[in-house]
């Protein structure tokens, strides 16, 4: 399995989805490399990793390859971040090698049996029809669908490299013929329920995937948070700085939540150029004003025009509240998890709508260094 690494510090593993490759994380890694050692893999059949035939043990085989990457690079434990189908790989790896996981982040998770493959690629998944229509579908997919989803030509061309040339359309066809979702993802709900590591789930408000996927995933994991960002499906590209900021804060705090509209958050929102309106609170039941009455304001030193929000957060005590403007996130209770578990077995299941937020005092930098 092809793997690139960059940076120093605690380790993070980044897993892309289909049909992208490790280049999906370029901008996120660029922001996080000064603070973490970032590992980016190419999944089989994408980027520079050879294709691997699909089988019932596919996810276990990919997880074993990722474990070999960890061993080769002498990583004791790492945070794991997945996007799209990479989330399914991430949770299987966490299930098989739980002792190697610190925290997790699942972006636009595509890992439930009721997943509907992208309609254009459905043509390639059909025997005979796929072989005949491969050149046409290939052209429409990269020239129309991906151009709309990934406007930057340079980034899009990196994804297309794997499927370029005369045989490219049929390589894409082979990749998307991974079988029926109800078979490939049948174990995912039970795996989600077994996970215990702190997990952040991020949903894109304009995602082609239903919001219920993110709600159900967060509700099934015993120690999880859910936030929503104003973005299309490719969060690591459209909101790369926001993703880096959120991951930095969450991994530094190891899942300890500070659900308050604090002076630090106000400072961050007012002294940086980042668009904080893109981070949206998701159905929080307790308002910031309610929390403010219980939290004593802390004096904060002024910071003059930092170049990026990454630099500011890296030099502040660890905290996490799901946004840079003090908005809160969902903390799922056991009742909500039971509801989501029931809904996971029905495609028409509705996501849980209640939530609870708890205010916890920030920790100092040294305390943030403990492991999960």
| Domain definitions of the chain by residue range | 3-115+185-369, 119-176
**Judging by beta carbons within 10 Å of its beta carbon (0-12, 13-18, 19+), is residue 318 exposed, middle or buried?**
buried
- Is residue 331 within a helix (H) or strand (E), and if so which, with residue range? strand 330-331
**Percent of the chain surpassing pLDDT 90:** 63
- Residue 343's pLDDT band (boundaries 50, 70, 90)? low
More confident residue, 72 or 351: 72
* Token pair for 263: 């002076």
Contact 155, 234 (CB under 8 A): no
More confident residue, 193 or 291: 193
**Over the stretch 269-309, which tens digit does the pLDDT of each residue have?**
343 333 333 443 333 333 333 333 332 333 323 333 334 55
- Residue 170's pLDDT band (boundaries 50, 70, 90)? very high
C-alpha–C-alpha distance, residues 252 and 316, integer Å:
10
- Residue 151's pLDDT band (boundaries 50, 70, 90)? confident
Q: What is the mean pLDDT of residues 129-138?
A: 94
* Highest-confidence segment of 105-109, 221-225, 263-267: 105-109
List the one residue out of 109, 105, 16, 101 whose CA is nearest residue 329: 105
| Other CB atoms within 10 A of residue 254 CB | 20
Cα dihedral across residues 53, 58, 61, 66: positive or negative: positive
**Over the stretch 52-82, which tens digit does the pLDDT of each residue have?**
999 989 999 999 999 999 999 999 999 999 9
**By three-state DSSP, how is residue 320 classified?**
coil
**By three-state DSSP, how is residue 81 classified?**
strand
C-alpha–C-alpha distance, residues 45 and 175, integer Å:
7
C-alpha–C-alpha distance, residues 60 and 153, integer Å:
34
Identify the architecture of domain 3-115+185-369 in CATH: 3-Layer(aba) Sandwich (3.40)
Contact 291, 261 (CB under 8 A): yes
| Other CB atoms within 10 A of residue 209 CB | 17
Maximum Cα interatomic distance, the chain, rounded to a whole number of Å: 68
Strands (E), 177-324: 199-204, 224-229, 279-280
More confident residue, 314 or 266: 314
| Other CB atoms within 10 A of residue 277 CB | 10
Q: Using DSSP bridges, classify how beta strands 279-280 and 224-229 pair: parallel, antiparallel or unpaired.
A: antiparallel
C-alpha–C-alpha distance, residues 75 and 79, integer Å:
11
C-alpha–C-alpha distance, residues 258 and 361, integer Å:
6
pLDDT of residue 253: 82
Residue 320: pLDDT above 60? no
* Token pair for 345: 């077995």
Strands (E), 97-220: 101-107, 199-204
Q: What is the mean pLDDT of residues 262-268?
A: 39
């Amino acid at each position: 399995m092809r793997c690139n690494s960059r940076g120093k510090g605690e380790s993070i593993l980044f897993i892309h989805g289909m049909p992208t490759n490790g280049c999906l994380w370029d901008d996120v890694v660029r922001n996080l490399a000064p603070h973490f050692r970032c590992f980016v893999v190419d999944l089989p059949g994408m980027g520079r990793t050879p294709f691997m035939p699909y089988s019932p043990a596919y996810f276990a085989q990919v997880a074993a390859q990722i474990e070999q990457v960890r061993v080769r690079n002498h990583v004791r434990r790492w945070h794991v971040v997945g996007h799209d189908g990479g989330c399914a790989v991430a949770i299987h790896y966490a299930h098989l090698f739980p002792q190697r996981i610190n925290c997790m982040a699942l972006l636009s998770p595509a890992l439930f049996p009721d997943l509907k493959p992208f309609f254009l690629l459905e043509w390639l998944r059909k025997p005979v029809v796929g072989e005949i229509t491969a050149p046409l579908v290939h052209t429409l997919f990269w020239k129309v669908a991906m151009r709309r989803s990934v406007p930057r030509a340079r980034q899009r061309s990196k994804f297309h490299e794997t499927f370029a040339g005369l045989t490219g359309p049929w390589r894409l066809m082979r990749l998307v013929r991974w079988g029926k979702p109800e078979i490939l993802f049948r174990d995912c709900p039970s795996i989600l329920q077994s996970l215990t590591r702190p997990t952040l789930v991020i949903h894109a408000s304009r995602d082609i995937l239903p919001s219920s996927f993110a709600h159900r995933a967060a509700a099934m994991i015993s120690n999880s948070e859910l936030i929503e960002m104003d973005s299309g499906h490719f969060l690591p590209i459209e909101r790369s700085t926001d993703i880096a900021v959120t991951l930095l804060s969450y991994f530094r705090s190891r899942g300890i939540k500070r659900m308050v509209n604090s002076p630090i958050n106000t400072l961050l929102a007012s002294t940086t150029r980042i668009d904080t309106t893109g981070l949206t609170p998701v159905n929080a039941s307790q308002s910031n004003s309610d929390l403010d009455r219980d939290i004593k304001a802390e004096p904060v030193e002024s910071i003059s025009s930092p170049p990026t929000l990454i630099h500011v957060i890296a030099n502040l005590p660890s905290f996490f509240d799901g946004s840079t403007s003090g908005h809160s996130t969902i903390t799922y209770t056991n009742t909500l998890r039971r509801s989501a578990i029931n809904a996971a077995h029905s495609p028409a299941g509705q996501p849980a709508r209640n939530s609870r937020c708890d205010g916890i005092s920030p920790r100092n930098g040294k305390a943030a260094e403990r492991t999960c």
